[in-house]
Structure 1
Amino acid sequence: MSFPAVITLWFVNAADVAAVVSREPKADRGFGRKYLAQLNPTWPITPIGQFPLNRSTQPSRDEFYIAGYPGITIVQTFVDSISKLSEVPPRLLRSVAAADVYAFGVGTDSTFAGFAHFHGDSVRRAFSATRTTIFEDVGLPQPFEAPYWAGEMAQQIGGISLPFEPCDLATAAQESWLGLDVSPTGPDINVVAYAVDGRPEPKVNTTVKRSPSTNEAAAKFAASRSDYDDYQAIDTEPEGDGFATVVDQSLTAAQRLGQRLMRGARGVKNNVIERIRHSDRRSSD
């Protein structure tokens, strides 16, 4: 039995993964293109986005999310069929030379999940399962696994089911091995997304006309009159109907705000004067 899943590979040559990622470096579009061209020279490669991996939707078929940082390469993609993370397709597993490779997988339509740590050519630890079936359990359980096996991290459903959700254990493995918070609350793990199915690159319409915002109009107005005397009459010449309207609205709003502030200040002042005026009366009482 095997499952469609999204797998994430971390190729690590850096001593401190968290230190590199915590600086939130930007992913290089050129690196991803070169990586995919070497993986399969016949693919038509199309950039389709750039965003944080830990705050994005999962890739679909024929999509790759890629980042190349100093000493670290991240590749996330969809696979049609997998049941053991130690059996990640070799073309992916060996696509980047690294001292350590960490693989994590989560099923797209099942409770399947797993993780594996490769050091050189050997598998140090690998585990893959659904909530009711273990497909792989290689190496000794790591300390981070203890509360999951003890049933402390999930509601128990009885029967032959595991005492935890496999996807939760896979996330714990990722955070423990990488020393990094990979949840949406962690630092941005910036990646570039690519498609290899020939789709065109998304178009961004840059010709849409819009009226200037109030802030933009006010800034433009202030810049053009930055040297005028506060008490000097200003002879303004609007630069267009839209701009004049926004400026008028800005000035009107400012005048109204100033009037309200003046009224409030006078009220506070009168209240203070009255308190001072009657303070001797209160003390004598």
Structure 2
Amino acid sequence: MPSTVSSLWYIDAPDPVAVLRDHPGPDPEAAWALARQLNPERDVVPAASGTLKVWAGPDPESIYIGCYPGVTVVCSTQAALPRPTELPELLVRPLASEHTYLIAYDLSLGWGAFAQWERGEFRRSFSSTRVNILEDQGLPRVWERPHWAGEYPIELEPGEMADPQMLPFDPPDFADAANQEWLGFRYRGKFSEDALTPDQIAVCGFSLFPKGQAPALDAVPVPAVTERTTGKRGLFGWLRGRDRVS
């Protein structure tokens, strides 16, 4: 499971997990176009691609995108916000999608966050460490109740003392529960035997460079094709003229 996640989801499909199951490979052309749209002040170059198991929480100089019919995921450090309501407007609704979801966590910090927009209008956000709520805006959703009621308490390590101000849930788990509610899968473990897992969701990778400092495209190695992306025109082979774009 990923130790860090910083993802944005743009959803129009009524059943996102069904789309992700039925379409094993993302659209690389759409992903590259969106990467450039979201980074107008950077040069964007195709890089190694893979799945959300590895790339859900990329470094600041990378972005990973999976474009599927009615479902788009963007993995970027720009989503790792202590206050999700500060998400730049460009990232709230770049595709005029019906739903926008932010899911982020860092296990090493015990931090988790989530947020929800409907047609670009803010609805709900939450962000906290185990003892400090950083943001809590909008009306809590029904699915949150068991967490606030203490049904999913923090599991302490042997010898670890509980802080008296500790929340009744682990923030990364809370963020992951939001992901399950909105998108139908968990980053951290499976909630059923046939559940979709991050290693089954492919994304296209891109490196970000200051304007004018990107290497020539011919010098960029062809990204490896993962099992989930086989058959999608060799991922970025079309950029070299190896496949014609119709």
Fold conserved (TM > 0.5)?
yes
8 Å Cα contact 1:6/1:79 also seen in 2: no
Give 1:175's aligned amino acid.
Q
8 Å Cα contact 2:66/2:204 also seen in 1: yes
Shift in alpha-carbon separation, 1:85–1:189, aligned structure 2, 3 A = same
Matches within 5 A, 1:213-252: none
Residue range with higher mean Cα deviation, 142-151 or 112-121 = 142-151
8 Å Cα contact 1:99/1:120 also seen in 2: yes
The equivalent residue for 1:27 is: 26
Shift in alpha-carbon separation, 1:69–1:143, aligned structure 2, 3 A = same
Give the number of the structure with larger relative contact order, counting CA–CA contacts within 8 Å between residues 6 or more apart: 2
Q: When you count helix as a share of all residues, which structure comes out higher?
A: 1
C-alpha distance in structure 2 between counterparts of 1:130 and 1:181, whole Å:
20
Report the alpha carbon displacement of residue 173 of structure 1 after superposing the two structures with TM: 0.4
CA deviation digits over 1:44-87, x for unaligned, max 9?
22222222213546310121110111111110111397321122
C-alpha distance in structure 2 between counterparts of 1:80 and 1:88, whole Å:
7
The equivalent residue for 1:49 is: 48
C-alpha distance in structure 2 between counterparts of 1:110 and 1:40, whole Å:
28
8 Å Cα contact 2:93/2:119 also seen in 1: no
Shift in alpha-carbon separation, 1:18–1:80, aligned structure 2, 3 A = closer
CA deviation digits over 1:231-280, x for unaligned, max 9?
xxxxxxxxxxxxxxxxxxxxxxxxxxxxxxxxxxxxxxxxxxxxxxxxxx
Gaps of at least 5 residues in structure 1 are 205-285
The equivalent residue for 2:117 is: 118
Residue range with higher mean Cα deviation, 181-190 or 130-139 = 181-190
Gaps of at least 5 residues in structure 2 are 157-161, 191-195, 224-246
The equivalent residue for 2:230 is: none
Match of 2:177 among 167, 172, 177: 172
C-alpha distance in structure 2 between counterparts of 1:147 and 1:14, whole Å:
27
8 Å Cα contact 1:12/1:72 also seen in 2: yes
C-alpha distance in structure 2 between counterparts of 1:132 and 1:34, whole Å:
40
Report the alpha carbon displacement of residue 19 of structure 1 after superposing the two structures with TM: 1.2
Match of 2:205 among 169, 193, 213: 193
Q: TM-score, normalised by structure 1?
A: 0.63
Q: Larger Rg: 1 or 2?
A: 1
Matches within 5 A, 1:1-285: 6-56=5-55, 58-79=57-78, 82-107=81-106, 110-153=109-152, 154-155=154-155, 157-183=162-188, 186-187=196-197, 188-197=200-209, 198=214, 201-202=220-221
Q: TM-score, normalised by structure 2?
A: 0.72
C-alpha distance in structure 2 between counterparts of 1:51 and 1:45, whole Å:
17
C-alpha distance in structure 2 between counterparts of 1:65 and 1:88, whole Å:
18
Calculate percent identity across the aligned residue pairs.
31
SS at the partner of 2:75?
Answer: strand
Give 1:166's aligned amino acid.
P
C-alpha distance in structure 2 between counterparts of 1:8 and 1:182, whole Å:
11
Give 2:166's aligned amino acid.
S
The equivalent residue for 2:232 is: none
CA deviation digits over 1:135-155, x for unaligned, max 9?
221233223322322223223
Shift in alpha-carbon separation, 1:42–1:11, aligned structure 2, 3 A = same
SS at the partner of 1:79?
Answer: helix
